[in-house]
């Protein structure tokens, strides 16, 4: 008799991601074939190769799981530990202590012990200092990703698995909608993101209940972060009040529909981003400045992407460049009335001069 359906589902999701990581790792580390012919009297050179199933660190990719101790990430850790034993993959774990609650250090140590008991190696508990920029949720997220990036770089990890589920995706789409964000924000979280595709989210097609059920049937202890139920946090209110209210009014299937919308939006956003990248050289003059008349002729969605790319290239931080900034830039093109310079994040300034849009650090 096979595993419980919930366990089978999480393992299959992780197995698919591990196969993707292995395929990419193999492509990056393939040694070009050497000629089998050699001058007379000399032995033909041979290409080095790793034996099947080898665990040599130079050939075998390391995959880390980011685990908070909650049901989603514990289910993910268990699936990674199980699947990695059958593949030429080294599996490790990272837990991040944000230091925001009493006893958080002890809980992080307990999670590390559980990950080690699963057979993951290396396992680390990393303590971070959470700032204040962007609010408590954003600041904690920034600190967490910075810690994961550092650990992945230091340990040479090929990928870091994150336990975001379809429910998390639906919440992200609704938060973007409430902020009046553009299509990129409505795209939610990507299955693959980060530098060189570092972050992988195997569970985006699975609901939160599946992960919790998988933990229960495997007798995996989980920790429910009280912050996830604290109405002081926007995502918590959305999770416990907003989404249930939508499902009550619109019927079941809201989460699935929102997740599907995210994928459709992502496909459109990717296409528009590619269009903007391709067209950008044609709207610059020989000095590299943006030509307002050429920008005006572009479709608005493409023009705004070109403007955003240009601002980021001059030093505006992408995470601080909001829709209102791009709208102000766009008005220099479409509603020119002699406006003065516009100040953008990162001490970047934009102004219209002689039919050109000049963006630079000021």
- For the stretch 47-94, pLDDT in tens is 344 444 444 555 799 999 999 999 999 999 999 999 999 999 999 999
**Is the confidence at residue 230, as pLDDT, over 90?**
no
Stretch among 45-49, 101-105, 213-217 having the lowest mean pLDDT = 45-49
Start-end of H helices in 283-346: 292-296, 300-313, 323-334
Q: Which tokens hold the place of 33?
A: 């074939």
Name, in order, each residue with C-beta under 8 angstroms of 114's C-beta and a sequence gap of 6 or more.
69, 74, 77, 220, 221
Name, in order, each residue with C-beta under 8 angstroms of 249's C-beta and a sequence gap of 6 or more.
none
pLDDT range class, residue 43, cuts 50, 70, 90: low
Mean pLDDT of 234-253: 90
Q: Please give the pLDDT value at position 47.
A: 38
**Is the confidence at residue 183, as pLDDT, over 70?**
yes
Distance CA 41, CA 251 (A): 79
Question: According to the per-residue pLDDT averaged within each range, which of 18-32, 124-138, 317-331 is highest?
Answer: 317-331
Name, in order, each residue with C-beta under 8 angstroms of 123's C-beta and a sequence gap of 6 or more.
92, 93, 94, 95, 112, 115, 116
């Amino acid at each position: 008799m096979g595993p419980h359906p919930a366990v089978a589902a999480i393992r299959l999701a992780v197995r698919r991601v591990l196969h993707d990581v292995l395929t990419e790792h193999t492509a990056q580390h393939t040694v070009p074939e050497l000629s089998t012919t050699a001058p007379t009297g000399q032995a033909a050179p041979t290409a080095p190769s790793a034996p099947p199933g080898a665990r040599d660190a130079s050939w075998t990719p390391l995959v880390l799981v980011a685990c908070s101790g909650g049901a989603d990430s514990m289910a993910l850790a268990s699936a990674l530990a199980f699947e990695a034993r059958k593949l030429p993959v080294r599996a490790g774990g990272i837990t991040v202590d944000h230091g925001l609650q009493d006893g958080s250090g002890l809980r992080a140590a307990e999670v590390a012990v559980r990950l080690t008991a699963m057979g993951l190696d290396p396992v680390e508990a990393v303590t971070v200092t959470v700032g204040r920029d962007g609010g408590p949720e954003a600041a904690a997220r920034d600190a967490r990703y910075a810690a994961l990036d550092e650990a992945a770089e230091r340990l040479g990890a090929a990928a870091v698995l994150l336990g975001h589920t379809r429910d998390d995706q639906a919440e992200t789409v609704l938060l973007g909608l409430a902020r009046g964000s553009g299509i990129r924000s409505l795209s939610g979280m990507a299955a693959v993101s980060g530098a060189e595709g570092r972050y992988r989210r195997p569970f985006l097609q699975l609901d939160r209940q599946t992960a919790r059920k998988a933990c229960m049937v495997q007798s995996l202890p989980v920790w429910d972060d009280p912050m996830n139920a604290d109405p002081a946090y926007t995502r918590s209110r959305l999770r416990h009040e907003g989404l249930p209210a939508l499902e009550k009014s619109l019927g079941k299937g809201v989460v699935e529909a929102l997740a599907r919308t995210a994928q459709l939006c992502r496909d459109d956003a990717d296409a528009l981003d590619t269009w903007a990248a391709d067209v950008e050289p044609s709207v610059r003059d020989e000095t590299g400045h943006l030509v307002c008349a050429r920008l005006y002729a572009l479709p608005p969605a493409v023009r705004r992407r070109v403007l955003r790319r240009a601002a980021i290239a001059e030093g505006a931080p992408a995470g601080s460049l909001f829709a209102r900034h791009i709208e102000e830039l766009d008005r220099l093109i479409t509603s020119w009335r002699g406006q003065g310079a516009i100040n953008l994040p990162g001490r970047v300034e934009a102004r219209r001069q002689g039919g050109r849009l000049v963006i630079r650090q000021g």
